């Protein structure tokens, strides 16, 4: 199975994948970031498909054009499975059409609760005593799709967004590589769809 990891940020999830022995074919980024340096230090192939070439972060950003360019790179590399790891660009449905049921994502809440970019802040604002992380099959709808695994994290009275997010990430760095490895093994066996964690 040929895995591509999509990155935009610090690369801590990518580091966890590498440390867990997940076999990665390609690391693709939408901007220059620490994650690409992590990939290079780990001897992984990297490619940059820059948002800047498609309007950057302006209102004129060509989302579909960007997605088609990224999809073409993944297809060219013979990718079987895509894992988003802090990837900051919301892609169009074209990527999902090219890799149906083959795109994974991790999110810092117990989905379907607290979707979106500010899940940790929303968790604190809601006053709940428990949150966690979710690994799911990504769909065109944001933070939607079949849930593959979840882990719970208590919300402490002393938590702010930074401390809570870091504790969630600590759990996520273990869970996500485990699920990716399980999905890769499942697909290699020819299973129709990766099973939810039992």
Best CA proximity match to 146, nearest among 185, 177, 192: 192
Q: Which domain holds residue 92?
A: 3-189
Mean per-residue pLDDT, 165-170: 96
In a domain? residue 194: no
In a domain? residue 124: yes
In a domain? residue 196: no
Give exposure, 122-159, as e/b (b: 16+ Cβ within 10 Å). bbbeeeeeebbbbbbbbbeeebbbebbbbbebebeeeb
At 150, is the pLDDT very low, low, confident or very high (cuts 50, 70, 90)? very high
First-last CA distance in the chain: 23
DSSP state letter for 113: S
- The Cα–Cα gap between 36 and 9 comes to 9
Mean per-residue pLDDT, 95-114: 96
Is the predicted pLDDT of residue 19 greater than 70, yes or no?
yes
In a domain? residue 197: no
In a domain? residue 184: yes
In a domain? residue 195: no
CATH code of residue 164:
3.40.50.170
Q: What is the pLDDT of residues 38-83, one digit of tens each?
A: 999 999 999 999 999 999 999 999 999 999 999 999 999 999 999 9
- The Cα–Cα gap between 62 and 96 comes to 17
Active-site hit among 77, 96, 107, 118: 107
Contact 5, 83 (CB under 8 A): yes
Burial of 27 (0-12, 13-18, 19+ CB in 10 A): buried
At 117, is the pLDDT very low, low, confident or very high (cuts 50, 70, 90)? confident
Count of domains forming the chain: 1
In a domain? residue 67: yes
Q: In what order do the strands lie in the sheet with 103-107?
A: 46-48, 26-29, 3-7, 81-85, 103-107, 130-137, 147-154
Is 77 annotated in the active site?
no
- 66 HSE (CA, 13 A, CB side): 23
**Residues contacting 26, CB < 8 A, separation 6+:** 2, 3, 4, 5, 44, 45, 46, 47, 74, 77, 79
In a domain? residue 198: no
Write out the E strands in the chain: 3-7, 26-29, 46-48, 81-85, 103-107, 130-137, 147-154
């Amino acid at each position: 199975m040929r895995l591509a990891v999509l990155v935009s940020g610090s690369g801590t999830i990518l580091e966890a994948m590498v440390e867990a022995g997940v076999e990665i074919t390609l690391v693709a980024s939408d901007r220059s970031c620490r994650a690409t340096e992590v990939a290079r230090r780990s001897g992984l192939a990297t490619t940059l498909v820059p948002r800047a070439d498609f309007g950057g972060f302006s209102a004129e950003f060509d989302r579909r054009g960007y997605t088609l360019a990224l999809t073409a790179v993944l297809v060219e590399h013979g990718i079987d499975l895509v894992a988003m790891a802090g990837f900051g660009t919301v892609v169009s449905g074209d990527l999902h059409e090219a890799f149906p049921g083959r795109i994974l994502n991790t999110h810092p809440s117990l989905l379907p609760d607290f979707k979106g970019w500010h899940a940790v802040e929303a968790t604190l604002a809601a006053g709940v005593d428990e949150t966690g992380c979710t690994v799911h099959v990504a769909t065109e709808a944001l933070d939607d799709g079949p849930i593959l695994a979840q882990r719970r994290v208590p919300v402490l009275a002393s938590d702010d967004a930074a401390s809570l997010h870091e504790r969630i990430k600590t759990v996520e760095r273990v869970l996500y590589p485990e699920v990716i490895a399980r999905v890769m093994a499942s697909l290699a066996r020819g299973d129709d769809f990766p099973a939810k964690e039992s």
